[in-house]
Amino acid sequence: MEIHVGGAAPYDVVIGRGVGDRVLPMLGDGVRRVAVLFPDGLRHLAEPVIADLGKAGLAVLELPLPEGEGAKTAAVAVAAWDALGEAGFTRSDAVVTVGGGATTDMGGFVAATWLRGVPAVHVPTTLLGMVDAAVGGKTGLNTAAGKNLVGSFHEPAGVVCDLATLGTLPHDELVSGLGEVVKCGFIADPEILRLVEEDPAGAVDPASPVLAELVRRSVQVKVDVVVGDLKETAGFAGGGGHPGREALNYGHTMAHAIERAEDYTMRHGEAVAIGMVFVAELARRTGHLDDATAARHAGTLAAVGLPTRYDGAPYEQLHAAMKVDKKSRGDQLRFVVLDGLARPRVLAGPAEADLRAAYERMRGA
């Protein structure tokens, strides 16, 4: 199946099994050299892509990356730029990423910044990468101050989601990706929640049609939101207060604080799950969300094995981390909350008492 992403720089997201041959045509004509960025531990998944590019007569520069969030550092970016420079990459050359969300973040950033932008095709190999990181053009790296604070918008030339790679994932990694899937259900497509709740076993089965449908629906949610507000600046015109792309940050303000507190050792989808429980309670306490929908967050997430509690860092530490979140404005914290299913909005400057109460709910108190 294909999902078309419109806008100023349109591209397609291909979803299916055995679709690796779609990478080459997405690169377009005129490309002579391709840098393939991949985690060193996923070389076996990158090799078929590298072989196909080589057979087509392209010169391939292999750029192995550290695993996970360890790839998203300034030092890794500098090393990639140096390698591109030594290989003589020009604006007519391209980047291909093969890996999870950290790989597409870093590979996209390298493509966005080399010569102020060269084409990139993403081949996400994780559920998280397919439904979130690879689509929408956000790229970035981490600093000591927080996650994704340095980055740029750089839409890819195409995205190829080969569902067969989901079968190579450790179970916990697949489950983690469902954090972003469930998020899409709450902010835009409640059918996602129904599918997860009615068949949680199918949702975590990499070969099931349920998971394939969850991927399709989640990608469609992200595409619909991104096309309406690519650079997360204005929300949806005439959208009745819809925060636009910022809606995709549902649960992320607390999630990023937790990830930083855990030195990025917690999986992103797990942190997002906990962050959604936090923000659902915040919305309930501030009169935006009814009790049943707030409680549904923990129930749906727990059904597929995602965490719903966290007590690993004190409130003061997490609050300080949230203040440097990229969605904050000055000293004012901003959270995406729900007024109901598929009705996201921004809550700015919530009261300290409500923040602390939501934190206690997150701790399981």
**Which one from 116, 316, 329, 352 is the annotated catalytic residue?**
116
Judge whether 172 is annotated as a binding position: no
Is residue 4 among the annotated active site residues?
A: no
Which tokens go with 282?
């915040």
The Cα 347–Cα 288 span in angstroms is: 9
Is residue 319 among the annotated active site residues?
A: no
Judge whether 312 is annotated as a binding position: no
**Which one from 154, 252, 267, 296 is the annotated catalytic residue?**
252
Judge whether 303 is annotated as a binding position: no
Is residue 222 among the annotated active site residues?
A: yes
Of 112, 118, 121, the C-alpha closest to 24 is 121
Judge whether 167 is annotated as a binding position: yes
Judge whether 165 is annotated as a binding position: yes
Of 10, 2, 50, 72, the C-alpha closest to 216 is 2
Is residue 361 among the annotated active site residues?
A: no
Is residue 245 among the annotated active site residues?
A: yes
Judge whether 168 is annotated as a binding position: yes
Of 224, 213, 225, the C-alpha closest to 1 is 213
Judge whether 105 is annotated as a binding position: yes
**Which one from 33, 267, 268, 334 is the annotated catalytic residue?**
268
Is residue 116 among the annotated active site residues?
A: yes
Judge whether 282 is annotated as a binding position: no
**Which one from 232, 259, 270, 281 is the annotated catalytic residue?**
232
Of 281, 279, 272, the C-alpha closest to 301 is 272
Judge whether 72 is annotated as a binding position: yes
Is residue 44 among the annotated active site residues?
A: no
The Cα 350–Cα 298 span in angstroms is: 22
The Cα 356–Cα 221 span in angstroms is: 31
One-letter identity of residue 63: L
Number of H helices, E strands in the chain: 14, 11
Judge whether 139 is annotated as a binding position: no
Is residue 256 among the annotated active site residues?
A: yes
Judge whether 68 is annotated as a binding position: yes
**Which SS3 state, helix, strand or coil, does residue 14 take?**
strand
Residues identified as active-site: 116, 138, 180, 222, 232, 245, 249, 252, 256, 268
- Residues making up the binding site for Zn(2+): 180, 252, 268
- Residues making up the binding site: 67-72, 101-105, 125-126, 138, 147, 165-168, 180, 252, 268
- Residues making up the binding site for NAD(+): 67-72, 101-105, 125-126, 138, 147, 165-168
